[in-house]
Structure 1
Amino acid sequence: MARVLGFALLLFALGLAAYASWSAWDAAGEVEIGFHGVVAMLLGAVFTLLLAGGLVALMLFSRRRGYDDEAAEGMRRHQRD
């Protein structure tokens, strides 16, 4: 049940973000984006995806190598106290 609720909340957040994006784009009216604007948006999107992918890769690498074990054990000890 918790997974379904979490998935539903994520879908709701995605829909809300899509609605906000559409509203902002529609409010801009007849504004045209030039070549440099398109290049800037594409570079920003690519850089954001590369950064997110790199951070996820570092997280997985750290977990597989056991670098997080000491911090996780400290958190468990702290929660028990």
Structure 2
Amino acid sequence: MGDSSLSRNGEPVPGKDYEPDADRTPSGPMPTRPVEEARNGSMVQDLDDLKRLGADMERVKTGQELKEEGLVPDPAQDE
């Protein structure tokens, strides 16, 4: 596996830095459901989805971390 931030099963490894290439594939299986059952307007659909989102968010650098690396954080996050 070429991406050091993912485990063998493709799950993010806690504590690893965010890598944009890791976002190109889902962090886990994404079951489908009818539109009528989907919870539109919610960031997650179920507990497994919440766990995946939490793991994904742990890898994302904060605005301060980006500034320390000389990068520009997303200005919309400060509004």
Fold match by TM threshold 0.5: no
TM-score range, shorter chain: under 0.3
TM-score (norm 1): 0.25
Give the TM-score of the pair, scaled to structure 2. 0.26
Which is helix-richer, 1 or 2? 1
Determine which structure has more spread, i.e. the larger CA radius of gyration.
Answer: 1
Higher RCO (Cα < 8 Å, 6 or more apart): 2
